[in-house]
Amino acid sequence: MPSIVGTWKLVAVAARDKDGKPLPTPYGGKPLGRVMFNAEGRMMAVTCDGRTELPAGTPREYSSYCGNYTFDGSRLVTCVDAASDPARMGTEQVRGVRFEGDRVVLSPPPRRNAVGEEYRELTWERIDSR
């Protein structure tokens, strides 16, 4: 089983609807993020819109959380104990996981948006294996 331990940078994010049709690219098409998993079962993640300037009236998309995690090779579960969104506190954040070469793709559960459900995939590239 490939190891998830290390520090990863966010290199791509894609979104689609329930029928697989592409949706507007999250984070304004310029994602910025880091996720770190240590060997002791602790993780932290931060993602945001990496554009230097946003269109007028557009809020910057941002999220961060951390906690203890378990990983079985295809499913990542984090028990959140700190987060930018108080609603995440005490929850389990579940992600599907697949490896593509030297990258890992994390798939959160679908989220509700103005047009229905949105399915995201976040692609990460390892920058440190410790």
CATH of the domain at 59: 2.40.128
Of the pLDDT bands very low, low, confident and very high (cuts 50, 70, 90), residue 130 is confident
N- to C-terminal Cα distance for the chain? 17
**Number of domains comprising the chain:** 1
More confident of the two residues 40 and 114: 40
What's residue 116's pLDDT?
A: 85
For residue 103, tell me if it sits in a domain. Answer: yes
Asked if residue 32 belongs to a domain, the reply is yes
What domain range includes position 29?
6-128
Residue 26 lies in a domain: yes
CA of residue 80 relative to chain centroid, distance = 14
DSSP codes joined into one string, 69-88: EEE-SSEEEEEEEEESSGGG
Helix (H, G, I), strand (E, B) or coil at 58: coil
Domain annotation covers residue 1: no
Identify the pLDDT of residue 128.
Answer: 87
pTM above 0.85, yes or no: yes
Read off the pLDDT of residues 85-108 as tens digits, 9 standing for 90 and up: 999 999 999 999 999 998 999 999
